[in-house]
Structure 1
Amino acid sequence: MIRVLLVDDQVLVRAGLRMLCESTEDVVVVGEAGNGREAVTLAEQHVPDVVLMDLRMPGMDGITATKRILDIRPSTNVLVLTTFDDDDHVYPALTAGACGFLAKDIAPPELLDGIRKAASGESPFSPAVLRRLVDRAMTANQPGLQPPDLTGREREVLALLGAGMSNAEIGERLHVGVTTVKTHVANMMTKTGCDNRVRLAVLAVRLGLVAA
């Protein structure tokens, strides 16, 4: 059972998310928070597997809450639900440790799939959100990108990861086991210095391995 904490300052949004989560047998809502401070307290108390995190809230925002939750519960996966006008918040949330980003207009089945992916340690993200992450990374004042020393198979895995595929989907596409995919992902993190799958996905686009 996947334990989920809902964080959003809008009561109706939380109610809708709760109804969606309760419509399936493998997800249970362990708490609701209307701001970041409440989120930190409830995450410490209930130890959720996944926190569905809004970014803009009164008081403590979702970025600060994400960092504090991961400080006290590093095994928790924070999945951000964002709107298209959150450009200035999404990239800092990635830096704070969020594992994935989904747009608030996502279809219900895709949101549930995103929760499951986050719980399994993957990084779900909406294509439009990835594009904004890449745009932010590309326009930042950074030194020229040096292509990492990746094997041909690692580049294949990176391209599919950048396209939003899960480990299972990548394994099926490449006809290898999930454990093999996980090994490739871990090796790429070591070689590139990317500490999560979202950063690897951004790198895939910046290297031209996948269209954003």
Structure 2
Amino acid sequence: MINVMIVDDQQPTRMGFSLMVMKDPALRMTLQAGNGQDALDILAALQLHGQSLPDVILMDVRMPVMDGLDATARIKQLYPSIRILILTTYDQDSYAFGGIERRSFGILA
């Protein structure tokens, strides 16, 4: 079973992704957060209480408080075993390439 966390500032988007995740018997929807800082706070609380961390995070790029790129960099530093899929509906290449180029994500050597 793969535990999934969804981080997106739009509640309807989180709901839609949750419904898709729940349709796959190999996936379990475990957590949701409305921005990158909330995600970090949730992960820290889980770790503090000895609870399981998600295996995968579906991370939106543009969010208030802390965007997905900054949150991804911080999560990869603190929780390197968590895999993160960065999501965006924006058609600007800078969002996608900005995420790929960050060495702290563990994508580039």
Alignment TM class, shorter chain as reference: 0.7 to 0.9
Aligned equivalents of 1:58 and 1:98: distance in 2? 24
- Per the alignment, in what secondary structure is the counterpart of residue 84 of structure 2? strand
Does the alignment pair 1:65 with 2:71?
Answer: yes
TM-score (norm 2): 0.83
Moved over 6 A (4+): none
> In structure 1, what is the equivalent of residue 88 of structure 2?
82
Aligned equivalents of 1:4 and 1:93: distance in 2? 20
Deviation string, structure 1 residues 47-92 (Cα, Å, up to 9, x no partner): 1111100000011000110011111100111101122424222222
Q: CA RMSD in A?
A: 1.7
> In structure 2, what is the equivalent of residue 38 of structure 1?
38
Aligned equivalents of 1:39 and 1:78: distance in 2? 12
Percent of paired sites with the same residue: 38
Aligned equivalents of 2:16 and 2:60: distance in 1? 14
Q: Structure 2, unaligned stretches of length 5 or more?
A: 47-51
Query: Would you tell me which structure has more helix in proportion to its own residues?
Result: 1
| Number of matched pairs | 101
The structure number with the bigger radius of gyration is: 1
Q: Structure 2 counterpart of 1:5, which letter? A: M
> In structure 1, what is the equivalent of residue 49 of structure 2?
none
Q: Structure 1, unaligned stretches of length 5 or more?
A: 100-193, 196-212
The answer as to whether partners of 1:48 and 1:76 remain within 8 angstroms in 2 is yes
Query: Would you tell me which structure has more strand in proportion to its own residues?
Result: 2
TM-score (norm 1): 0.45
The aligned runs of 1:125-140 (5 Å cut-off) are none
Does the alignment pair 1:97 with 2:78?
Answer: no
The answer as to whether partners of 1:5 and 1:43 remain within 8 angstroms in 2 is no
Does the alignment pair 1:47 with 2:58?
Answer: no
Q: Structure 1 counterpart of 2:75, which letter? A: I
Does the alignment pair 1:56 with 2:62?
Answer: yes
Aligned equivalents of 1:74 and 1:41: distance in 2? 16
Aligned equivalents of 2:106 and 2:84: distance in 1? 5
Q: Structure 2 counterpart of 1:97, which letter? A: F
